[in-house]
Amino acid sequence: MTTAPDASAAVAAGTGRPGPVAPPAPSARRRRRRAVAVVSVAVAVLLAAAGATLAVLRPWEAAPEALALDGDLATHDPALVVGDEGEPWFVYSTGDPARGLGAPMVHRSDDDGATWERVGPAWEAADDPQWVRETIDGVEHFWAPELVEHDGAWYLYYSASTFGSNTSAIGLATSPTLDPADPGYGWTHQGPVWRSQAGETFYNAIDPGVVTDAAGDPWLFFGSFWGGIQVLPLQWPDGLPADGAEPVMVATRAGVPENQIEAPYVAEHDGWYYLFVSWGKCCSGVDSTYEIRVGRSQDVTGPFLDADGKDMALGGGTPLLASEGAVIGPGGQSLSRGHLANHFYDGDDGGMFRLSIQDLGWTRDGWPVATTEVPAS
C-alpha cells in the first residue's frame, strides 16, 4: 500500500505548493490505530460486497447435498423411509415382473443410506392380492409404491395397471414393520383403494402419494397422463377413502401431448405443502424425458402455485431436477426427513436405471433446490 506525502515533503521534492507548517507527526501508536481502522473498513466493505454477490449466486439457506451411494442401486420409483439414528433405511420400489405379480421390491441400507442391498419382494407370489387378477388383465408387476406410517402400523399403497391404459387401481397392504428381518413382518392385503376404468373415468388411478395434514387427516394424491394429478381424502385407521370422497384435479399439462405428468408426492415444509411431480416420459433409458417440477400451497388441497405464481392446475411447475450430463430423466420421486429420492437413467452405463438420494436445499424464499451431482462412492 502507498501513502500520499505530506505538504513539506512535496515542497522538498518540488512537486507541490508550499503550505502551512505541518503539525507534529502522529505517534506510532496513533498511526497503527488509524491503519487498523482503515483496513477494518475496507475489509467490511469487501465482505459486504462479497456477501451481496454470494446472495445473488447462491440464494439458499442450505445447499443440496447428494449422497454417495453403493451396492444394488437398480431402482424405479423409490419410496424412501429414512430410519431413526442407528436404524436402517428402506426403499420400496416398482416390482420385478419375474416374481409372480411383481410385488414391490425391498431395499435396505444399514449405514445411513450409503450402501444398499436388494432384500427381495415385499411378499411372495403365493401371497399376491387376488383381486388384481380378477379386475385388471395383463398386470405384470406393481408400480410406484408409497409408504406411510400411522399409529405404529405401515401402509403400503401400490399401483396395478398396464402401459398405455387407464384401467388401473391403487391397492393397499399393511404391516407392523418395514423390515423383512423382523419377526413381526408381513403384509396384509386390504384390497383396492381407488380405481379408474377406460372409457368411464378421465383420470388414471396409479402413482399414489399420501400426506397427513396439520389436523392429522390423510390425503391421497395420484394420477398419470389422462386427467392429470388428483387429490382424494382418506381416513384413519383403515387408510381408505373417506365417506363420499371424490377426486379433484390439482395439476395438469393440458395442451401438452398425452398430458405428460405423473408421480405426485406431497411433503410439508415450514407451513407449506409442496407438490412434486414428474413431467415427461420415463422408462425409455437414455431416451427418457422425465424431469421433476414443484409447486406449493398453504392448503393441502391447493391451489399449488409455482415460483412465478402459476397454478399447477393450469400447467405451472417450477423446475427442480432435469437431465444433465449422464443423469438422464430424473423422476419418480419421494421424500423422507428432508431427503429426496428418485431414479434416473445412467448415460455412462447404457441407460441403466439407478437410485439417487440427496438432502434437499432450500432458498430463502422457501423453494427446494436439488442437484444432479452423482458423488463417487
Residue 33 has pLDDT above 60, yes or no: no
Q: How many structural domains is the chain composed of? A: 1
In a domain, 40, yes or no: no
Binding-site residue set for substrate: 77, 164, 204-207, 224-226
CATH of the domain at 113: 2.115.10.20
* Residue 144 C-beta-side C-alpha neighbours within 13 Å: 29
Name the residue with higher pLDDT: 21 or 332.
332
Return the minimum-mean-pLDDT range out of 34-38, 134-138, 171-175.
Answer: 34-38
Q: Quote the CA–CA distance of 77 and 343 in Å, as a whole number.
A: 6
Confidence class for position 211, pLDDT limits 50, 70, 90: very high
pLDDT digits (tens, 9 = 90+) for 218-246: 999 999 999 999 999 999 999 999 999 99
User: Which is it for the CA torsion 333, 196, 254, 267, positive or negative?
Assistant: negative
Query: Which contiguous run of DSSP H or E holds residue 296?
Result: strand 291-297
pLDDT digits (tens, 9 = 90+) for 130-172: 999 899 999 999 999 999 999 999 999 999 999 999 999 999 9
In a domain, 28, yes or no: no
In a domain, 60, yes or no: no
In a domain, 374, yes or no: no
In a domain, 98, yes or no: yes
Q: Counting Cβ atoms within 10 Å, is residue 110 exposed (0-12), middle (13-18) or buried (19+)?
A: middle
156's grid cell: 403400503
Catalytic residue numbers? 77, 262
Mean pLDDT of 322-340: 97
The whole domain housing 146 covers 69-369
Model confidence, pTM: 0.84
In a domain, 64, yes or no: no
In a domain, 39, yes or no: no
Binding-site residue set: 77, 164, 204-207, 224-226
In a domain, 131, yes or no: yes
